[in-house]
Amino acid sequence: MDTLTTIAAVIAVLLLALLLALAQASRRGTRRRRNPPGPVALPVIGHLHLFKKPLHRTLALLAARHGAVFQLRFGTRRVAVVSSAQAAEECLGPRDVAFANRPRLPSGRILSYDWTTMGTASYGPYWRHVRRIAVTEILSVLRVQQFADVHEREARAMVRGLYRAAARGRARARVELKSRLFELLMNAMMGMMCARTYYGEEAAAEVSEEARWFREMVEETMELSGASTAWDFLPAWARWLDVGGVGRRLLRLREGRTRFLQGLIEEQRKEMEKGAPARRTMIGVLLTLQNEDPEACPDQLIRTLCFSSREAGTSTSADTVEWAMSLLLNNPPVLEKARQEIDACIGQPVRLIDATDLPKLHYLRCVIMETFRLYPPAPLLVPHESATDCTVAGFHIPKGTMLLVNTFAIHRDSELWDEPESFIPERFQNGKSEGKMFIPFGMGRRRCPAENLGMQMVGLALGTMIQCFDWERVGEDLVDMAEGSGLTLPKEVPLEAFYEPRASAIHLLSGIQ
């Protein structure tokens, strides 16, 4: 018995020592794995009660309280929010692969065909295949140059329509620009996609039912997409009940969009089957690729590429031009400087600007870049998700954490930018901004590949408007610069302005230049 007692005592001591060692190791591990700070979460919903719009402003206020890296819980989903250049660089630079996935949000399953679009697919072979096709077949430098005539045509059609509206009044005219810009960019995207346009030059032109439906679809998609809607983070039973009707709206959007896009594909396919050459359009290029390798480019892939290009390009580009015009109207000397540069570049005889002029219009580019800084197309970059456990700014970020990068806050960081709230295009002249965190198109593997296309569309639209008209604010008050909400960054109050054709442009606007 004495021997057994001794053995039992030794085992007990050893077990106690082991437990103490494990507890100490656990405490050391906890200290090493420092979690980001954050506000107290509520049961079930987490921090969804903090979803006050616009969300990027709400998250910026939380960052001021909790730090540049903090954590939230959207329902049961863990979220890390990054609001500093240093932390964003760490996530999208050295940790780029770790954060290259996309969160599988329920809205993405519906709207993005089970997360198969380039923007929603997680990092891997399928995403690389889709991105390769997009970059080489649709967004290459050569293809963007080929689309320039479409962009020029639609920019000129818009200013001619404005001129005719002003000529009828024989004086300066008033215009609500948001609608006109949306029509311009919608025509441009549809022209690139399938050589179709919806809107004519006349202000009173009849708008088709299909065009009205298309616009409503784009706006509703932007409203319901991304991390800006709480529906994605509700418990499954709450989404099933669908009290607010969000799920039904998403399903209706997908069904209508699929019918629309498949109709465009079938129309082009029938023309090619009859022996007509493939149009120099996105759909024509992709159908040619499909004929060469059907498995590499099925109809669903064509639909996802067209959907991503059309809805993102239309809304974000229109918003950017509207923000740029609002900033210029609030800063007349900048508007005059941009106009003088265009006039000097064009010279004599006077003609409308074209895509080949854009590389020479350095100040116009600075205006666009400063607009992107103040009002980035995606104020919260499209959400990322961690594929592995990792560390950011000394904080432990577990696998499966959704990452939100607050571009809006980073672009207005006073430690990074002088006078961050001011509109100063000169900050982008002569490489002055090099080395500063400027990510309107994201960075790393998931960087938006359509930067050249977007800059061409925005540059031609904005440059043509500046060249052709004198612009004034409506009233003495500054233009309202309040931000709306959604995946992109629309103005809360659509821009209205007075315009009058410039004497030097009248012969261009009245003709078929």
What confidence tens digit (pLDDT) does each residue in 129-151 have?
999 999 999 999 999 999 999 99
pLDDT at 15 (0 to 100): 62
Determine contact, residues 496/176, Cβ cutoff 8 Å.
yes
Which residues share a beta bridge with 390? 397
Q: How confident is the model at residue 336 (pLDDT cuts 50, 70, 90)?
A: very high
Q: How confident is the model at residue 340 (pLDDT cuts 50, 70, 90)?
A: very high
- The rounded distance, in Å, linking the Cα atoms of 508 and 441 is 35
- The rounded distance, in Å, linking the Cα atoms of 150 and 187 is 9
What's the rounded mean pLDDT across residues 280-297? 93
User: 448: annotated binding-site residue?
Assistant: yes
Which helix (H) or strand (E) is 69 found in, with range? strand 69-74
- The rounded distance, in Å, linking the Cα atoms of 479 and 465 is 18
Kindly state the DSSP code that residue 341 receives in the 8-state scheme: H
Q: What is the mean pLDDT of the chain?
A: 88
Is pLDDT above 50 for 296?
Answer: yes
Determine contact, residues 102/384, Cβ cutoff 8 Å.
yes
Is pLDDT above 70 for 322?
Answer: yes
Counting DSSP H helices and E strands in the chain, the numbers are: 18, 9
- 397 φ/ψ sector (left φ>0, alpha ψ -120 to 50, else beta): beta
What's the rounded mean pLDDT across residues 33-44? 92
167 vs 444, more confident: 444
Least confident of 32-46, 217-231, 243-257: 217-231
Q: Quickly tell me which residue has 């993005």 as its tokens.
A: 112
| Phi then psi dihedrals of residue 173, to 5 deg | -120, 165
pLDDT at 207 (0 to 100): 61
**What interhelical angle do 246-273 and 209-224 show, nearest 10?**
130
Give Cα 263 to chain centroid, integer Å. Answer: 26
Those residues with Cβ within 8 angstroms of residue 485's Cβ, 6 or more apart along the chain or in another chain:
53, 54, 55, 223, 228
What's the rounded mean pLDDT across residues 73-85? 95
